């Protein structure tokens, strides 16, 4: 039995629930939602309703208010199974808003289901539990990478202690390849690929079939794979459609479902400034670097390191870290990428209020000025908002690469600054 790894979302979840009557916590399968809820909202203070349980689900469908009477602190797990329950929750909240606390959880983004967002409009706050960050996997306190960037005035604020040890490259490859879902924590390396195999099969049979009964599972699986192979690239529906041999509208439908179940994310372009020459189509990321590696066909750590996809896998890892960090900020920060039609590019743009920072990822130990070209153009074009640009690399040096542009070791993401 693996001991409990504290989650960075814990304080946010507790606080949000004390401030609002309904919190909707969603996340991909196996990110640790049930474990987290049982821990933060324990019985008997909280009543726990699991809609995977057939009796409870029948009751939820037929006499939902009966399921909820007698308690004003309720956790409803697997809520996507019986969305009817939400109308009963709404009644409960409207009856006694000040004392009712409900946590609604599930593996589908309930707020994307139209009826749910209408039912709970103005009553619910939505949080997402994602794969574990590197810091969570190592049971470290949060490093506070983004808050430090947004508060930075210059290199001296961003320096990391000299001589701090980097994570050995094999360890990093292992983290990338394994992925960050908690059941993978204690699994021996030889069992990881089989675990992902079962994960994807269960996802298809259970979640895809539930929400889209007519989908062809073999087509769906091939769309997942084609998407993984395009990790970090611009999304082009017709190119996926051609590869897989299904229509572009089907690809779009399958990707919508993958996104609604938190398996995949479309990263939108940052297009605040007026320049017309910006690329606007979204980029493609799987929710977990381990899932990306499994689907793209890299079965072990060595093959991940040698793969054409090594760069995109690393981007996935950084993206995962930034997503969790962004949701820890108040208000939450938003993530984008940035690219011009003449190919100046920044991998990630983090927008927080009126400020932005650019984050570029490079698989090099020795970054130079040329590697920061995209960041330089980005900062130049977003002068009024941009705080700084950072280039994360695999070496140990902290270096200034231009005005407000800094090269930092990748490990700063989980080790933090001074």
Ligand X SMILES: Nc1ncnc2c1ncn2[C@@H]1O[C@H](COP(=O)(O)OP(=O)(O)OP(=O)(O)O)[C@@H](O)[C@H]1O
Which parts of this chain interact with ligand X (CB under 6 A)?
2, 4-5, 7, 27, 29-35, 107, 182-183, 185
- For the bound state, the minimum distance from the C-beta of residue 4 to ligand X, rounded and expressed in Å, comes to 5
- The minimum distance between CB 29 and ligand X, in angstroms, equals 4
Nearer to ligand X (CB atom), residue 29 or residue 266: 29
Nearest to ligand X of 30, 320 (CB atom): 30
When asked if residue 236 is in the footprint of Mg ion (CB under 5 A), the reply is no
Residue number of the CB atom closest to Mg ion: 34
Interacting partner of 4 out of Mg ion, ligand X, none (Cβ under 5 to 8 A depending on kind): ligand X
Token pair of 350, please?
Answer: 């983090």
> Which CB sits closer to ligand X, 79 or 375?
79
Q: Which helix (H) or strand (E) holds 112?
A: none
- Residue 142 interacts, among Mg ion, ligand X, none and using kind-specific CB cut-offs from 5 to 8 Å, with none
- DSSP β-bridge partners for residue 391: 360, 407
Contact 108, 207 (CB under 8 A): yes
Beta carbon of residue 77, minimum distance to Mg ion (angstroms, whole number): 6
Tokens 């995977």 belong to: 52
Render 16-58 in DSSP notation, one character per residue.
HHHH-SEEEEE-STTSSHHHHHHHHS-TTTSEEEETTSHHHHH
Does residue 34 belong to the site contacting Mg ion (CB under 5 A)?
yes
Q: For Mg ion, which stretch binds (CB under 5 A), given 33-41, 216-224, 318-326, 331-339?
A: 33-41
SS3 223: helix
Q: Between 34 and 303, whose beta carbon lies closer to Mg ion? A: 34
216 binds, among Mg ion, ligand X, none (CB under 5 to 8 A by kind): none
Report the residue number, 2 or 306, with the smaller CB distance to ligand X: 2
Our measurement of the distance from residue 273's CA atom to the centroid of its chain's CA atoms, rounded to an integer in Å, reads 26
In whole angstroms, what is the distance from residue 171 CA to residue 156 CA? 29
CB 114 within 8 A of CB 47: no
Q: Nearest 5°: CA angle at 409, between 405 and 414?
A: 115
Q: How many residues bind Mg ion (CB under 5 A)?
A: 1
Task: State the Cα–Cα distance between residues 266 and 285, nearest whole angstrom.
Answer: 6
Q: Residue 2 CB, nearest distance to ligand X (Å)?
A: 5
Which one, 35 or 87, has the nearer CB to ligand X? 35
- Pairwise CA distance, residues 285 & 172, whole Å: 19
Among residues 195 and 270, whose Cβ is nearest to ligand X? 195
| Residue 281 touches which of Mg ion, ligand X, none (Cβ within 5-8 Å per kind) | none
Q: Which is nearer to ligand X, 136 or 360 (CB)?
A: 136
Q: How far is the CB of 57 from ligand X (least distance, A)?
A: 14
Residue number, 8 or 337, with CB nearest to ligand X: 8
Output the smallest distance, CB 62 to ligand X, in A. 24
DSSP string for residues in 277-321: TB--SPEEEES-HHHHHHHHT--SHHHHHHSTTHHHHHHHHHHHH
CB of 182 to Mg ion, least distance (A): 11
DSSP class of residue 331 equals S
5 binds, among Mg ion, ligand X, none (CB under 5 to 8 A by kind): ligand X
- Which structure tokens are listed for 391? 């280039």
- Per partner kind, with CB cut-offs from 5 to 8 A, the member of Mg ion, ligand X, none near residue 234 is none
Q: How far is the CB of 103 from ligand X (least distance, A)?
A: 12
- Is residue 35 part of the contact set for Mg ion (CB under 5 A)? no
Query: Smallest gap, in angstroms, from Cβ of residue 105 to Mg ion?
Result: 7
Give Cα separations from 71 to 76, 173, 352, 395 (angstroms): 12, 48, 38, 55
Residue 407: Cβ within 10 Å count: 26
Measured CA to CA, the distance from residue 287 to residue 102 in angstroms comes to 27
Q: And the tokens for 404?
A: 């407000």
Contacts with Mg ion by CB under 5 A lie at: 34
């Amino acid at each position: 039995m693996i001991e409990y790894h504290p989650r960075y979302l814990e304080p946010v979840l507790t606080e949000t629930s004390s401030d609002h009557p309904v919190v909707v916590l969603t996340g991909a399968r196996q990110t640790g939602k049930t474990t987290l809820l049982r821990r933060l909202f324990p019985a008997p203070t909280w009543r726990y309703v699991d809609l995977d349980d057939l009796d409870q689900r029948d009751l939820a469908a037929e006499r939902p208010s009966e399921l909820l009477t007698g308690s004003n602190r309720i956790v409803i797990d697997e809520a996507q199974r019986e969305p009817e329950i939400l109308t009963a929750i709404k009644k409960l909240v409207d009856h006694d808003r000040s004392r009712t606390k409900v946590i609604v959880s599930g593996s589908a983004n309930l707020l994307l289901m139209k009826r749910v967002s209408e039912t709970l409009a103005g009553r619910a706050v939505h949080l997402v539990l994602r794969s574990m960050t590197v810091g969570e996997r190592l049971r470290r306190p949060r490093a506070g990478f983004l808050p430090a960037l947004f508060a930075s005035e210059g290199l001296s604020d961003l320096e990391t202690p000299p001589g701090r040890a980097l994570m050995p490259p094999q360890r990093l490859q292992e983290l990338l390849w394994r992925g960050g879902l908690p059941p993978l924590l204690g699994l021996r390396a030889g069992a990881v690929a089989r675990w992902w195999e079962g994960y994807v099969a269960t996802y298809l049979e259970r979640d895809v079939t539930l929400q889209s009964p007519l989908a062809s599972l073999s087509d769906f699986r091939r769309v997942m794979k084609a998407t993984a192979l395009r990790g970090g690239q611009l999304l082009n529906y017709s190119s996926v459609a051609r590869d897989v041999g299904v229509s572009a509208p089907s690809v779009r439908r399958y990707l919508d479902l993958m996104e609604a179940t938190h398996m995949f994310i479309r990263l939108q372009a940052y297009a605040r400034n007026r320049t017309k020459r910006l690329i606007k189509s979204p980029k493609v990321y799987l929710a977990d670097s381990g899932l990306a590696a499994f689907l793209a066909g890299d079965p072990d750590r060595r093959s991940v390191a040698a793969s054409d996809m090594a760069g995109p896998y690393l981007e996935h890892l950084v993206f995962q870290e930034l997503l969790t960090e962004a949701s820890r900020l108040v208000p939450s920060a938003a993530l984008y990428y940035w690219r011009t039609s003449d190919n100046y590019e920044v991998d990630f743009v983090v927008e927080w209020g009126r400020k932005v920072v650019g984050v570029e990822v490079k698989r090099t130990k020795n970054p130079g000025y040329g590697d920061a070209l995209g960041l330089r153009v980005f900062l130049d074009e977003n002068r009024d908002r941009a705080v700084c640009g950072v280039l994360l690399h695999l070496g140990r040096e902290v270096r200034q690469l231009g005005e407000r542009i800094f090269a930092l070791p990748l490990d700063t993401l989980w080790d933090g600054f001074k």
